[in-house]
Chain A
Amino acid sequence: MTLTAPSKAPATIDTVIDSVDRAADEVVTLVLRRTDGANFPAWEPGAHVDVHLENGLIRQYSLCSPTADRSTLQIGVLRTPDSRGGSAFVHDNLWPGTELTISAPRNNFPLVKSRKYMFIAGGIGITPIIPMMEAAEAAGKEWVLHYGGRSRTSMAFLDELVTKYGPEKIRIYANDEDNMLDLTQVLAMPRAHMLVYACGPGGMLNAIEDLCMGWPPGALHIERFVATELGAAANSEPFEVELAQTGTTVTVQPDETIVDAVEQAGARVLSSCRAGVCGTCETRIIAGEPEHRDAVLTEEDKAAGEVMLPCVSRAAAGCSRLVLDL
């Protein structure tokens, strides 16, 4: 039996730029509105959109506007020196009135229900955290943000956040003030029922992953946009997974995990945390290239491409089919 659905391209939305603001050194925020005047689809904190740039590049940007206001979407973009031109293009060529095609909002970084949260943001990594803090505050949760950056002027949304939530909840660390974000100290004491949500540069996330090995399994959630060999952007297309043990093929939509898709098709994967941390669902890859999103495999494992964790990891951009030992 083959369960392959016709793989339709993900819906795109035509938008026009409402405003462009300089939010910090090298950071602009764009507010987008639909050209047809309708509302955007509902989305949850942690969601991002693909932005299709005129120069052919596709880039993911996290949404940082309030989830309740569906008339506009806001994204924040840092100009990165090593970029293949994506962020530079945004900075140099996009103005109010420019039309921009985006994908529907998608979420690889959902805020899981918990009693307490610690948010950690490095630089532009603040963007997905903004709606998360809003949701945590609205739900009356105990939370704190540790926000680090090169200097205050390089950190977007800083004043706004401190004004809104106060310095108790918003802890600022600026390197040029001799006040570096000390991750070892911040993460020294795991708290019960507290989840850690972190977004920022790769080096910072690696350090956080190491420190959180002392936290309960599953406490840490990170957002990492991975560059694979096939494409610099994270994959947001549907892809197929062939289950080698039965020959069944399932289609994995952008908003579901491989484990979800496989289970919906009636097959089984032994899994536990479903967050890429426990390693229970580790599966051998027979063919295809994965995009690893877990916190279990070492860099060597990831490079070897022999196994993956299908509870979080996906097919790499440009790889439309994985064959897995399932």
Chain B
Amino acid sequence: MTTTIEPAVFTEDPFDEAALKDPYPFLQRLRETGPVSYLEATGSYAIVGYDEVYEVLMDFETFISSGGLGPHDIRKDEAWRPPSILESDPPIHTVMRRALTGVINPSTVRALREPFTAPAVEIVNDLTQFDRFDAVTDLAEKYPIRVFPDAVGLPQEGREHLLPYGNMVFNAFGPENYIYQQAFAEGDAHSAAVMKLCQRESLDDSGFGAKIYERINDGLITEEQAALLVRALLSAGVDTTIFGIGNTLSVLARYPEAWQRLRENPSMAKFAIDEALRVESPFQKFHRTVATATTLGGVDLPEGAKVLVFVGAANRDPAKWGDDAAEFSLDRSSSGHVAFGMGLHQCVGQPIARLEMEIVLQQLLEKFETLELADEPVPFIHNVLRGFESVPLKVSPKR
């Protein structure tokens, strides 16, 4: 018999404003008591150790997704929308994932490099007339929303609902606090508009959306599932990448030597992005539901319990990354980080997100000799995503 330990109990709420503005001090306190602890505020178990987070992500039979990624079990409570691929388990997940991976994979994404480059060139060129600009409002918030909906094949009208809708979807992975309420303020209108965008008639013939609908003809998925998959792309594909760009620049702006090295060797851009996503992971945390009682990190977890998986803590666990885990280092191999998840639900959009981020960074490296913080970044208050409302930069454009 293995001996189990009582988890440390915390009263602090990881979803309160202070913890959302700067999550790392609380994560550090959790880590100091062990890889698994109990959060009274949410009634869930906090998982912060790299090995334990990895185990939860890999063991999708014990830690299931069909209970939803939020704190409530959506199998019991009425969910606010039909479950997505992210909120499903095999065998339902299996056909949806097969359909999606057949459409979005490194081969199909490679073709996007050209159409994705021109808008990045244009946006960055416009910035070269300034000595200061904001990495979020002037760049990150402009780019993915311009290229990604085209790749999916969306019409122009209705695109304005994508960001508010994404904000709803992800904030719903946290509790129904004031942040959630604000995100859902005009929720019905955004949901209806996005569901309309996901219909076959709304999509052009060449985008990922149309390709997903083609899988109906193979008999792989139903029409309803096709719409849900397009919806998954629209909800998961925009905010995350905006934050990914903003976070990467918020990190790089603090490391001027790294900027110089990257300028000398721009092919290292993708390593820099990977390492920045490790240090400032856009998708910080989400839940799983315990399907059968189990033990993790020495702690007994009862059936039906919710675990809160802190990807952002695993990516800074000194046991995995060393004592300087919280520091960005161009020389570190960040491979194995879980910013895109791991295992069954590992991010389908990863190649798209990486491509967008790499193109933007390459453009910036080409056009700016230096890039540093002009002021402290302002965090975006969000239940599960980590990002910034503003990252003020001072730059020296190449003349």
Kindly identify which residue among B59, B110, B333 contacts A282, using a CB–CB cutoff of 8 Å.
B110
Interface pair B94/A190, CB less than 8 Å apart: yes
The residue in chain A whose Cβ has the minimal distance to the Cβ of B271 is: A270
- Interface-located stretch among A38-46, A56-64, A208-216, A225-233: A208-216
Closest Cβ of chain B to A176, distance in Å, is: 27
Closest Cβ of chain B to A92, distance in Å, is: 43
Closest Cβ of chain B to A115, distance in Å, is: 9
Interface pair A272/B335, CB less than 8 Å apart: yes
Answer whether residue B261 sits at the interface, using C-beta atoms and an 8 A cutoff: no
Interface pair B59/A296, CB less than 8 Å apart: no
Closest Cβ of chain B to A219, distance in Å, is: 9
- The verdict on A192 contacting B61 (CB below 8 Å), with A210-B98, A210-B102 known, is yes
Closest Cβ of chain B to A305, distance in Å, is: 14
The residue in chain B whose Cβ has the minimal distance to the Cβ of A270 is: B270
Answer whether residue A217 sits at the interface, using C-beta atoms and an 8 A cutoff: yes
Interface pair B58/A268, CB less than 8 Å apart: no
* Bound-state Cα–Cα, A307 to B106, Å: 11
Interface pair A193/B105, CB less than 8 Å apart: no
Query: Which residues of A175-198 are within 8 A (CB) of B?
Result: 188-193
In the bound complex, residues from chain B placing their C-beta under 8 Å from that of A67 are none
Query: Which residues of B298-339 are within 8 A (CB) of A?
Result: 333, 335
Closest Cβ of chain A to B290, distance in Å, is: 13
Closest Cβ of chain B to A301, distance in Å, is: 5
Interface pair B98/A214, CB less than 8 Å apart: yes
Chain B proximity mask over A268-281: 1 for CB below 8 Å, otherwise 0: 10111000001110
The residue in chain A whose Cβ has the minimal distance to the Cβ of B100 is: A213
Interface pair A213/B267, CB less than 8 Å apart: no
- Interface-located stretch among B18-26, B175-183, B223-231, B343-351: B343-351
Answer whether residue A298 sits at the interface, using C-beta atoms and an 8 A cutoff: yes
In the bound complex, residues from chain A placing their C-beta under 8 Å from that of B270 are 270
* Bound-state Cα–Cα, A277 to B97, Å: 14
- The verdict on A298 contacting B107 (CB below 8 Å), with A193-B58, A216-B343 known, is yes
Answer whether residue A23 sits at the interface, using C-beta atoms and an 8 A cutoff: no
Most A Cβ at <10 Å: residue of B62, B93, B110, B265: B110
Interface pair A188/B94, CB less than 8 Å apart: yes
Answer whether residue A297 sits at the interface, using C-beta atoms and an 8 A cutoff: yes
* Bound-state Cα–Cα, A278 to B343, Å: 11
Chain B proximity mask over A222-254: 1 for CB below 8 Å, otherwise 0: 000000000000000000000001000000000
In the bound complex, residues from chain B placing their C-beta under 8 Å from that of A216 are 58, 60, 343-344, 346
In the bound complex, residues from chain B placing their C-beta under 8 Å from that of A193 are 58-59
Closest Cβ of chain B to A284, distance in Å, is: 10
* Bound-state Cα–Cα, A216 to B93, Å: 11
In the bound complex, residues from chain B placing their C-beta under 8 Å from that of A271 are 335
In the bound complex, residues from chain A placing their C-beta under 8 Å from that of B96 are 214
- The verdict on A214 contacting B60 (CB below 8 Å), with A279-B105, A296-B105 known, is no
- The verdict on A214 contacting B90 (CB below 8 Å), with A279-B105, A307-B110 known, is yes
Closest Cβ of chain B to A304, distance in Å, is: 10
Answer whether residue B274 sits at the interface, using C-beta atoms and an 8 A cutoff: yes
Answer whether residue B295 sits at the interface, using C-beta atoms and an 8 A cutoff: no
In the bound complex, residues from chain A placing their C-beta under 8 Å from that of B97 are 213-214
Chain A proximity mask over B54-97: 1 for CB below 8 Å, otherwise 0: 00001111100000000000000000000000000011011111
Answer whether residue B206 sits at the interface, using C-beta atoms and an 8 A cutoff: no
* Bound-state Cα–Cα, A189 to B91, Å: 5
In the bound complex, residues from chain B placing their C-beta under 8 Å from that of A278 are 106, 350
Interface pair A192/B94, CB less than 8 Å apart: no
Most B Cβ at <10 Å: residue of A188, A189, A217, A245: A217
The residue in chain B whose Cβ has the minimal distance to the Cβ of A279 is: B106
In the bound complex, residues from chain A placing their C-beta under 8 Å from that of B333 are 268
- The verdict on A192 contacting B58 (CB below 8 Å), with A213-B98, A279-B351, A296-B106 known, is yes
Kindly identify which residue among A192, A245, A282 contacts B267, using a CB–CB cutoff of 8 Å.
A245
Interface pair B62/A192, CB less than 8 Å apart: yes
Answer whether residue B222 sits at the interface, using C-beta atoms and an 8 A cutoff: no
In the bound complex, residues from chain B placing their C-beta under 8 Å from that of A214 are 90, 93-98, 101
In the bound complex, residues from chain B placing their C-beta under 8 Å from that of A215 are 94, 344
Kindly identify which residue among A189, A210, A217, A296 contacts B107, using a CB–CB cutoff of 8 Å.
A296
Closest Cβ of chain B to A199, distance in Å, is: 22
Closest Cβ of chain B to A233, distance in Å, is: 27
Query: Which residues of B105-161 are within 8 A (CB) of A?
Result: 105-107, 110
Interface pair B62/A189, CB less than 8 Å apart: no
In the bound complex, residues from chain A placing their C-beta under 8 Å from that of B271 are 268, 270
Instruction: Name the 9 nearest CB pairs between A and B, nearest first.
Output: A279-B106, A214-B94, A214-B98, A213-B101, A192-B61, A216-B343, A213-B98, A216-B344, A192-B59
6 contacts between A and B (CB under 8 A): A216-B344, A245-B265, A245-B267, A268-B271, A297-B107, A307-B110
Residues of B at the A interface (CB closer than 8 Å) are: 58-62, 90-91, 93-98, 101-102, 105-107, 110, 265, 267-268, 270-271, 274, 333, 335, 343-344, 346, 350-351, 354
Extra 4 A-B pairs, beta carbons < 8 Å, given A215-B344, A268-B333, A279-B351 = A211-B98, A214-B98, A216-B343, A271-B335
